[in-house]
Structure 1
Amino acid sequence: MRSPAVRGAWLLLCAWIASATALAGPAAPGQAAPVHAEPGAAAAASIGVPPAPASSQRNGREIYESFRAGLADPTCNADATSVRWKKHFGHAPGQLARSGEDLLPLFGYVVESLREASLPTEYALIPFVESGYKPGARSPSGPAGLWQFIGITARNHGVAMRAGYDGRLSPVDSTQAAVRYLKTLHGMFGGDWRLAVMAYNAGEYRLLQSMRSAGMNARNAKPEQLRGLSGITHAYVEKLHALACIFQLADDRAEWMHSLDRPVPRLASQALPGNISSLDAWANLQGHDPALLRRLNPALAGGISLSRGGKALRVLAPASGQTGPDPAIGSTLAAEPLPPTSGAALASTPSPPSNGAAAASGSHTVRRGESAWSIARRHGLQPQQLLKRNGLA
């Protein structure tokens, strides 16, 4: 993910955000309107109801069908699809279907995270473009991990980076941050996945500038007509849509669907106990393949004691029969104050603790890698509170 260097007055930037969110319009036909629960309602409803145990395996075909059911734009005619990118990513179905590899279980983990967040599954294709779905991928220019965060962007989105531990290489840490950020962008840009991925690639402020210059807002913006953005950003939408169509064409082939019809591990975030000295030792205690866990968790390649640094660690591993809903997925939704999306049902969350010194600041200069929610969090506010304090909501 690339975030541009952007500087400017915070009030102006808030105005852009306000124009994008306030004019997003009502939910599109067929979409659910936002539902704002009373504080504590969700918790009260779940009292006394134990979580359903999660199976340690699932069928690969189930993963694919969940992905397809979650697509926001399943249209795949010639006008909607880039021939160039369909050819470029033509190998992707074969990769997903290949047994003995980690891609299908990882894809399932990301798809499940997005479905839990009520987000379109087009976003699950981003790691295909960014890293080829390799958790340990590193670019010579600096980005790393499944989602290819640069260092400053990772830190601004809550990904731990310290001596001996690079959270960008943790599929748990990085996916949690990516889903949280995509949730913000999805709401900011009116539930339009195309605008959201353009903002993910170019940075939300650059996209807001382009929309403002074109006299557009989140309700009426036409991504292909936005100017001042790089060809890479425009191609990002084309790549993801081409990938979605490649998979949909592949599922017309009975042989390909049959190749997915096999048991694969259901991956989940799990806490690593403090008394565990090595990933292999924990894998053996849990009955997991140590080699699989090493491949899935390259952030721990330097050893657990060095990686821990006095902090709690989570690993991605096959779910046990006693494991309930993935806590990392749940924390993705509750960890940051988020604007409501046009198509997802969200429960209101408590305001974060306010920081008197931060909240008293009258201005903020946006720095490289910052996003709207990270700035609001720094000042101990929810985004709407910040807009109200500036007379913009």
Structure 2
Amino acid sequence: MTYRTIRQRFLLSAGSTVIMGLLMAAAANSEASPGTLGSFNVSSNTTTPLPSPREEQARAPRLDAYHGHFWDSLSLEPQDVWSVMRQSFQWQEITLPLEAQARVDEWIEHYRARPQNIVEITRRATPWLAWISEQVSERGLPGEIALIPFVESSFDPSAKSHRGAAGLWQFMPGTGDALGLVRNQSYDGRLDVVTSTQAALDYLESQAAEWYQGDIMLSLAAYNAGAGTVNKALRSAQSQGLDGSYWDLSLPSETMQYVPKLKAIATIIQNPERYGVELPDIQATPAFAKIQLENPLSLAEASQLLDVSQQTLAELNPGLLGAQAGPRNGQTLLVPESADSELIAELSQSTDAVLASTDTPAVHRVESGDSLSAIAARYNLDQRDLIRWNALDRPGALTPGQLLALTAR
């Protein structure tokens, strides 16, 4: 069952419960109200005169705003990711000092003059934005935090800076290591969107709690410049009698512009029509499903089994440098939400039962003692084709349980 299916069932169940509760309350309210269908007072068992038309009108139930629009409210408009994000924004109503607002306005005009840049970046964010926004919301963080990759990497999960930072969240190697992001020849956790997003949010929350009494803006400054630099600037501002908010600090130029950029982007997303920006349609639910792998599985194998292009899988799994996922190299494989994720989960854990269900073998599960030459001979294939189709870096080091694609995509 995919994430979306679970979410839909939950919402339907919750909606049914709410509706039944409201209908029962309405019925109870009706029973408690004076009746208008008969001319008998049940409690006294005596007849009473029928009310006059004016009295009848006065007695008629009056629909307040809640009851009058109850059924209309059940026809909810489908939400996209932008409407969901707007509901989670926390900084848009904050009134800033004039100098601080001028810094935000400068970036609003910068982006406003380049609307195509925003459109291009938000389109690049399409696979990731709904899921990231969801993670931010679940932690109770300002919705603006989901836009940090806009500032850091233009939402390019493979982005690398000249200083060595990498991924959507632009982690330096040392920082990534400290946060437990695995790096080796075949996998880089900084490029893994799921893993790096969790690490980034953990980092922001821990920094805010440890140093800044929960102030996320100061934690963002530390994310960019380092806690030492921000703490020094904070002490200096407080020694001058200032409150020590982000807007009070004297920081390196890049850090001084960090939060203004973020707030400017959120301001434009809050009201894109005002700034002449047309945002792309992005669904409000995650665009991918996560599969936990028990055995190694190459992207070529997954492509064959799921009928999903290998390029699509590679774009969803940029942390897999060697094009193979598994317990050692990024245990979670991301696949399109619409793909048959149950099949790939079954194949990653089962034996040949599922493979036998196909008319023509498309894959081979490596068994103990198998060699590439023996597999090629068994299926009358060229070893070089097997190497190319499966992106094998070490053809002589096959792993029992590994799936090999037997045809080109």
Shift of 1:266: 2.0
- Is the contact between residue 53 and residue 322 of structure 1 (CA under 8 Å) also seen in structure 2? no
Match 1:71 to one of 86, 89, 93: 89
Letter in 1 for 2:247: E
Q: How many equivalent pairs are there?
A: 266
Corresponding residue number in structure 1 for 2:191: 169
The answer to whether the aligner puts 1:316 opposite 2:334 as a matched pair is yes
Match 2:286 to one of 266, 278, 299: 266
Corresponding residue number in structure 2 for 1:299: 319
Instruction: Give the whole-Å Cα distance in 1 for the aligned partners of 2:287 and 2:339.
Output: 12
User: TM-score scaled to structure 1, two decimals?
Assistant: 0.58
In the TM superposition, what whole-angstrom CA distance separates every residue of 1:332-390 from its partner, at most 9, and x where no partner exists? xxxxxxxxxxxxxxxxxxxxxxxxxxxxxxxxxxxxxxxxxxxxxxxxxxxxxxxxxxx
Shift of 1:140: 2.0
Q: Secondary structure at the match of 1:165?
A: coil
Identity %: 29
Match 1:143 to one of 165, 171, 185: 165
Shift of 1:300: 1.3
- Is the contact between residue 271 and residue 312 of structure 1 (CA under 8 Å) also seen in structure 2? no
- Is the contact between residue 110 and residue 175 of structure 1 (CA under 8 Å) also seen in structure 2? yes
Instruction: Specify whether residues 95 and 296 from structure 1 end up closer, same or farther in structure 2 by C-alpha distance, changes over 3 A only.
Output: farther
Instruction: Specify whether residues 255 and 86 from structure 1 end up closer, same or farther in structure 2 by C-alpha distance, changes over 3 A only.
Output: closer
Letter in 1 for 2:6: P
Equivalent positions of 1:6-85 (< 5 A) are 53-54=6-7, 61-75=79-93, 79=98, 80=101, 82-85=104-107
- Is the contact between residue 114 and residue 179 of structure 1 (CA under 8 Å) also seen in structure 2? yes
Instruction: Specify whether residues 185 and 288 from structure 1 end up closer, same or farther in structure 2 by C-alpha distance, changes over 3 A only.
Output: farther
Q: Secondary structure at the match of 2:198?
A: helix
Q: Which has the higher contact order (CA 8 A, sep 6+)?
A: 1
In the TM superposition, what whole-angstrom CA distance separates every residue of 1:115-167 from its partner, at most 9, and x where no partner exists? 12211121112111111000111112211111111100001011111222111
Shift of 1:314: 1.4
Shift of 1:290: 3.3
Shift of 1:102: 4.2
Corresponding residue number in structure 2 for 1:123: 145
Match 2:299 to one of 273, 276, 279: 279
Shift of 1:253: 8.1
Instruction: Specify whether residues 97 and 91 from structure 1 end up closer, same or farther in structure 2 by C-alpha distance, changes over 3 A only.
Output: same
In the TM superposition, what whole-angstrom CA distance separates every residue of 1:68-91 from its partner, at most 9, and x where no partner exists? 111121138894253332233348
Question: Which is greater in Rg?
Answer: 2
Instruction: Give the whole-Å Cα distance in 2 for the aligned partners of 1:299 and 1:193.
Output: 28
Greater mean alpha carbon deviation, residues 203-212 or residues 163-172: 203-212
User: TM-score scaled to structure 2, two decimals?
Assistant: 0.56
- Please list every run of 5 or more consecutive structure 2 residues that lacks an aligned counterpart in the other structure: 9-76, 342-409
Instruction: Specify whether residues 281 and 253 from structure 1 end up closer, same or farther in structure 2 by C-alpha distance, changes over 3 A only.
Output: farther
In the TM superposition, what whole-angstrom CA distance separates every residue of 1:10-57 from its partner, at most 9, and x where no partner exists? xxxxxxxxxxxxxxxxxxxxxxxxxxxxxxxxxxxxxxxx997146xx
Letter in 2 for 1:186: A
Computed over aligned residues only, the root mean square deviation of the Cα atoms, in angstroms, reads 3.8
Instruction: Give the whole-Å Cα distance in 1 for the aligned partners of 2:113 and 2:203.
Output: 28
Corresponding residue number in structure 2 for 1:34: none
- Please list every run of 5 or more consecutive structure 1 residues that lacks an aligned counterpart in the other structure: 1-49, 324-393
- Is the contact between residue 265 and residue 319 of structure 1 (CA under 8 Å) also seen in structure 2? no
- Is the contact between residue 135 and residue 145 of structure 1 (CA under 8 Å) also seen in structure 2? yes
Q: Secondary structure at the match of 1:270?
A: strand
Instruction: Give the whole-Å Cα distance in 2 for the aligned partners of 1:93 and 1:216.
Output: 42
